[in-house]
């Protein structure tokens, strides 16, 4: 009996068959290419970027991109970026960053928010506009600060302040002020809890991790590989043209090159302790709260050529999925399990056709649960509507330059990091067996969502 069977015995669910619900292949009028990317090093929350706002960090990442590709005074077709934790004053975060940058002030911009998939979704949205001929160039990006998070006043105080603003007479105002109670003065900080369940993201993943019987050791091994791969990539200078130092930081502060399985094994479980599930998730195999920003430069082939810019990879296609996690039909972070099979079916590809896999490491358990679901016969049949398991991927192709467990995960900035890293890896690899090297990105997000994308080397 598989973990899936155990959890869904006796209940019939419609499948999310990869071919029956996906869109039909698009008419591709032209290609969208990844020119390059730039990010600032990611810092653990409460460290060097503690006083840096989203506006500061996005501007820093954008400045570096403008400098690297000579975009001073360039009117870019559109800039799209976002932040998951956003101050209300930052309603036009991206446009403000553009106005504060060396880009032409005639560059339009919009904000986007899709939780941790924000960054990848900005890439897909702008790539689609380029493919359709609506824009020639685009800059996608994302930023998040867990240190400089917005804190709201309590609901009671907020109502008093709003009512006070509407009051006309002194008597009314005094009456309203008299409603303030001591408890109204305590602030309301953002939490990582899912609004509909009250469980934190880590608690949700702890349930999924237990459901798929992912061992503590397997999670620690994945975390260790992430640190080792990221450290090796830094040592080889891989990030030199992908990163601009900021506030004295020149590499991700969460990186522990000297981490070991012994050290990871000593950490106490951080999630799932009260849930009755086996507690295997620690601070070591979960991503820490992080601050940082990333950007990606996209363009049409014509635009890149006319500006004498490199072309690292083509953005082939993308797919978004969502799962019904609220009552546990699927795990909160398992939507990519459905997005990827749909995406591959539409493009007539299998997991064996890829040379690199970038699966966002929200938690080691997320990556391993995703792989387990794809390898599960019963899940493939009953939930994906396939003849059997979706397939197994070659683990030596997975997150080979490290991922979020080592680099950290400033929510909206992760998509840009993944796209720029993969595009460069693909370009470096060139062709494989006579075809362009191919890579897959998968990002899970709060609210039971997930986004996947295919890139090919040029």
Partner 1 sequence: MSYPAANVLAGMPSLSKLYVNAAATAAKSRVLGLNSPMTLPADCNEVRGVLADLAKMTEYQHLLGKAARDVMPSGFIHALAFPVAMSVMVREEFPLPLLGMIHLKNRVQHLAPVLFTQPVTIRSWARNLTSHRAGTQVELVVEVRAEGSPELLWRGVSTYLAKGIFLPGVDKPAVAGTGPDAAHGSFTPPDPTGLWHLGVDTGRAYAAVSGDFNPIHLSVLSAKALGMRRSLAHGMYLAARVLADVGSPKPDAFSWEIAFDAPVFLPAAVAVHIADTQTDDGVWVSSQFVGWNARTGRKHFSGTAAVL
Continuous segment of H or E residues that includes residue 89: none
Q: Which stretch binds partner 1 (CB under 8 A): 7-15, 258-266, 368-376, 430-438?
A: 7-15
Residues 458 and 233: their CA atoms lie apart, in Å, by 21
d(CA 83, CA 144): 5
Under the criterion CB under 8 A, does residue 384 sit at the interface with partner 1?
no
> Hey, which residues does 130 pair with through a beta bridge?
none
Question: At a CB cut-off of 8 Å and minimum separation 6, what does 224 contact?
Answer: 259, 260, 261, 264
Q: What one-character DSSP code corresponds to residue 81?
A: E
**Whole-number Å distance between alpha carbons of 37 and 211:** 37
Choice from 28, 30, 51, 196 touching partner 1 (CB under 8 A): 196
Q: Per CB under 8 A, does 12 bind partner 1?
A: yes
**Span near partner 1 by CB under 8 A; candidates 293-301, 320-328, 368-376, 431-439:** 320-328
Distance CA 367, CA 274 (A): 23
Instruction: Output 203 or 319, the one with its CB closest to partner 1.
Output: 203
Give the footprint of partner 1 on residues 413-432 (CB under 8 A): none
* 121 lines the binding site for partner 1 (CB under 8 A): no
Tell me if 183 contacts partner 1 by CB under 8 A: yes
Tell me how many residues contact partner 1 (CB under 8 A).
22
Residue 349 Cβ vs partner 1, minimum distance, rounded to whole Å: 28
Taking the complex as a whole, the smallest distance from the CB of residue 274 to partner 1 amounts, in Å, to 6
The 259-288 contact track toward partner 1, x by CB under 8 A, reads ---------------xxxx-----------
- Would you state the structure tokens that stand for residue 318, as one six-digit string? 């993308």
SS3 of residue 213 by DSSP: coil
Three-class SS of residue 104? coil
Degrees, nearest 5: CA angle 423-362-33:
15
Helix count and strand count (H, E) for the chain: 15, 14
Q: Which residues contact 260 (CB under 8 A, 6 or more apart)?
A: 224
Q: What binding mask, one character per residue, do residues 197-236 give for partner 1 by CB under 8 A, x or -?
A: xxx---x---x--xx-------------------------
168 touches partner 1 (CB under 8 A): no
Q: Is 310 in the site for partner 1 (CB under 8 A)?
A: no
Rounded Cα distance, 293 and 99, in Å: 17
At closest approach, how far in Å is the CB of 4 from partner 1? 14
Interaction of residue 171 with partner 1, rule CB under 8 A? no
14 binds partner 1 (CB under 8 A): yes
CB of 10 to partner 1, least distance (A): 9
409 is catalytic: yes
List 258, 327, 348, 387, residue binding partner 1 (CB under 8 A): 327
Q: How far is the CB of 14 from partner 1 (least distance, A)?
A: 5
DSSP 109-175: EEE--BTBTHHHHHHHHHHHHHHTTS-SEEEEEEEE-STT---BPPHHHHHHHHHHHH--SHHHHHH
Q: Given 4, 204, 227, 444, which residue is catalytic?
A: 444
Rounded Cα distance between 198 and 2, Å, is 28
Question: Is residue 116 among the annotated active site residues?
Answer: yes
Q: Is 187 near partner 1 (CB under 8 A)?
A: no
d(CA 13, CA 262): 42
* 427 is annotated as an active-site residue: no
* The only residue of 87, 307, 329, 429 in contact with partner 1, by rule CB under 8 A: 329
Which residue number, 329 or 381, has a Cβ lying nearer to partner 1?
A: 329
Beta bridge partners of 317: 454
d(C-alpha 417, C-alpha 238), whole Å:
13
Among 328, 378, 381, 385, indicate the residue that binds partner 1 (CB under 8 A). Answer: 328
Catalytic residue among 116, 204, 227, 360: 116
Binding residues for partner 1, per CB under 8 A?
11-14, 183, 195-199, 203, 207, 210-211, 274-277, 326-329
- Give catalytic residue positions: 116, 409, 444
């Amino acid at each position: 009996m598989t973990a899936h069977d155990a959890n869904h015995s006796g209940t019939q669910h419609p499948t999310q068959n990869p071919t029956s619900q996906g869109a039909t292949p698009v008419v591709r009028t032209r290609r969208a290419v990844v020119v390059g990317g730039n990010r600032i090093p990611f810092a653990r929350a409460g460290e060097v970027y503690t006083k840096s706002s989203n506006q500061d960090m996005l501007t820093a990442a954008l400045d570096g991109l403008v400098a690297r590709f000579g975009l001073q005074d360039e009117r870019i077709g559109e800039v799209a970026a976002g932040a998951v934790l956003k101050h209300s004053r930052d309603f036009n975060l991206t446009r403000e960053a553009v106005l504060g940058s060396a880009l032409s002030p005639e560059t339009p911009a919009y904000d986007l928010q899709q939780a941790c998939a924000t960054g990848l979704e900005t890439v897909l949205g702008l790539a689609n506009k380029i493919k359709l001929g609506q824009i020639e160039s685009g800059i996608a990006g994302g930023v998040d600060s867990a240190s400089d998070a917005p804190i709201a006043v309590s609901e009671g105080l907020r109502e008093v302040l709003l009512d006070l603003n509407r009051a006309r007479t002194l008597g009314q105002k005094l009456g309203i002020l008299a409603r303030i109670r001591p408890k109204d003065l305590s602030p309301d900080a953002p939490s990582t809890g899912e609004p509909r369940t009250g469980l934190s993201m880590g608690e949700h993943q702890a349930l999924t991790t237990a459901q798929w019987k992912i061992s503590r050791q397997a999670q620690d091994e994945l975390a260790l590989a992430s640190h080792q791969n990221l450290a090796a990539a830094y040592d080889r200078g891989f990030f030199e043209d992908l990163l601009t130092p900021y506030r004295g930081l020149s590499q991700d502060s969460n990186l522990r090159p000297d981490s070991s399985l012994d050290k990871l094994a000593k950490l106490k479980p951080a999630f799932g302790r009260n849930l009755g599930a086996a507690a295997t998730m620690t601070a070591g195999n979960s991503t820490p709260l992080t601050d940082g920003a990333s950007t990606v430069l996209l363009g049409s082939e014509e635009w890149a050529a006319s500006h004498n810019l490199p072309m690292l990879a083509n953005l082939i296609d993308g797919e978004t999925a969502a799962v019904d996690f609220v009552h546990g039909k699927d795990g909160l972070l398992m939507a990519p399990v459905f997005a990827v099979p749909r995406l591959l079916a539409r493009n007539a590809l299998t997991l064996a056709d890829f040379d690199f896999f970038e699966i966002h490491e929200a938690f080691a358990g997320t990556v391993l649960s995703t792989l387990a679901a794809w390898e599960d016969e019963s899940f493939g049949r009953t939930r994906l509507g396939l003849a059997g398991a979706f397939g197994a991927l070659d683990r030596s192709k997975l997150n080979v330059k490290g991922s979020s467990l080592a680099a950290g995960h400033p929510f909206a900035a992760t998509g840009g990091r993944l796209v720029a890293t993969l595009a460069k890896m693909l370009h470096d690899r060139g062709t494989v067996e006579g075809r362009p090297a191919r890579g897959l990105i998968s990002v899970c997000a709060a609210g039971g969502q997930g986004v996947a994308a295919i890139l090919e080397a040029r």
